[in-house]
Structure 1
């Protein structure tokens, strides 16, 4: 093995470890916290976590074995089963991300009708479609013997060694990626850009209220004024960063692999073998990123992880959370300022800006 292959093996091992630990942690939080289980997005997160975990324990180790041994892991029948799982799980993961974006779109754009538009049975219907969609493509590919060991990716995946069915395989591959990757990407862009538009609109309204308050309260303490302005700036950037993360990680992880699969259909275009493995590792890395992007960095999951740790350490969760304060907030002492405006005395708490 050359240096590049050794680095790729190390990268694959890191991806497997991070993906396994993070997805197991998300599953533990889901089982531990009844509030997460009651929420509709929790079903989509559970499905995404299930797909990522199964992909981590079934396909990633065999790809690592194929990379090290430079040979097919197991027989043809075993490789077809693994390839079926790889096609099914990767498709299901993409559609689950699209389902999560639709849920956020409805929650933000139609907040008053969210509970009537997105109920648990509606979520079950969406998940049923993702499973049917994934199962249909993977079944067709397996039945037509278009699943096998692919040396370029050192894994059992979509592959067509027969020249007689090349045209049909090309049509299937283009159709498959158009209705999985491209469809999911379009849904992500449409929904999250709508969410960003609404978020920016509300931020502008809040900024106007904040600035009007700061102008009226001419005697406000400088530290409070500065904290309000800093919070106003962070609020404007927060929604953009989150949505950029959702769409950016999807494109960064899946686009290189999908583009490589499309370019591969043209025999005249050479593809570096190392690049094939790199694109596969990027696609696998999405399973390691998803727990942090969609779950573990959220306040509810952070609090659940803290409660679990406190319980394991036999400490009171209530004391650890600061007597009712959020775990990622430090209780600030309240300071009171007496301001006179138009002959009327106003009492202002120093933490006023945090309510905007």
Structure 2
């Protein structure tokens, strides 16, 4: 293997480990904390977590095997099944992110009517659409034999295996990416930019009230005034940073792969297979980023993780104390003065 392929293999392995651990932590927090389960967005978060976990344990290792062995992992039927699952899981993940952005938009723009507009039943309906949408495209691709091993990406994915239906496959690929990646990206941009607009408006109102207060408090200490102004600046930057993270990670991870899939439809444009694998790794890395972007960096998940760690540490401490007490009793039983005297001649 060349040095580049070794680096790509190591990168793929790191993505698998990080994705598996981070998504497992999100699932553990969901099972541990009942408050998280009561929230409506948890339906989309849980669906996204399951999609990422299934993609991590089913598709990523086979792509790593294809990269190392430079060939198709398994039979054609097995590769078609793997390509079907990848198409379904990736599409479902993108639509779940779009659903989460819509939920955040309603919660921020219509806070008083959020609980009446978005309920678990409504979330289940939206989730049902994501499954129908994902299942339709993946099933159509499998039935038309447009799923197979693609050496450019070293994985089982969408591919015109027969090479006899290039025009229909081109149309299907364009429509598929338009209604998944492009649609999800537009929803993310529209909803999160509206959220950012509302957040900036509220920050501006808070800043005006803060400045009026600082003007009235003429005897306020300069250090306190400085901290208030610094908090205003951090508040304005915090909303922009969050929105940029949501949209930026989506584009950085998925855009290179989708653009490569579109450019691939033009046979006259050469694409290096190493770039194809890199774009595939970027798409897979979204499964490792999602737990941090949507869950683990939130205060509720941080607190839940801290509670779980403290509980495990306390349990370990109790076990250690019990074992120490047990050994102490054994020691006292064998080496008490009465027993020593009894054993002496």
TM over 0.5: yes
1:191-224 CA-to-partner distances (Å, cap 9, x unmatched) read 0000000000000000000000011111112222
Structure 2 match to 1:142: 142
**CA separation in 2, counterparts of 1:189 and 1:301?**
25
> For residue 246 of structure 2, what is the aligned residue in structure 1?
246
Matched, 1:34 2:34: yes
Following superposition, the deviation at residue 177 of structure 1 comes to 0.2
- SS for the counterpart of 1:148 is strand
**CA shift for structure 1 position 240:** 0.3
Cα deviation 1:33-60 (Å, max 9, x = unaligned): 0000000111110000000000000000
1:114 paired residue number: 114
Residue in structure 1 matched with residue 339 of structure 2 by the alignment? none
Aligned to 1:177: 177
Query: Is the radius of gyration larger for structure 1 or structure 2?
Result: 2
Q: Secondary structure at the match of 1:314?
A: helix
Tell me the residue number matched to 1:260: 260
In the alignment, the residues of structure 1 paired with residue 156 and residue 23 of structure 2 have an alpha-carbon distance, to the nearest angstrom, of 23
The alignment of Structure 1 onto Structure 2 pairs a total of residues equal to: 315
Q: 1:145 is paired with a residue of what secondary structure? A: coil
**1:275 to 2:275 alignment:** yes
Determine the structure 2 residue equivalent to 1:87: 87
For 1:294, the equivalent position in structure 2 comes to 294
Show structure 2 runs of 5+ residues with no match.
316-345
Unaligned 5+ runs, structure 1: 316-356
Q: How does 1:125-274 map to 2 (within 5 A)?
A: 125-274=125-274
CA RMSD of aligned residues (A): 0.7
* Partner in structure 1 of residue 323 of structure 2: none
* Cα distance in 1 for residues equivalent to 2:47 and 2:214: 46
- Counterpart Cα distance in 2 of 1:211 and 1:125: 46
1:297 CA displacement: 0.2
Matched, 1:309 2:309: yes
**1:225: Cα distance to partner?**
1.5
2:112 alignment partner, SS class: helix
Tell me if 1:103 matches 2:103: yes
TM-score (norm 2): 0.91
Distance across 2 between alignment mates of 1:160 and 1:28: 40
How do residues 8-19 of structure 1 correspond to structure 2 at under 5 angstroms? 8-19=8-19
1:123-145 CA distance string (max 9 Å, x none)? 00000000000000000000111
- SS of the equivalent of 2:149 reads strand
Q: Is the 8 A contact 2:145 2:161 kept in 1?
A: no
Supply the distance in 2 between the matched residues of 1:89 and 1:37 (Cα, whole angstroms). 22
SS in 2 for 1:313: helix
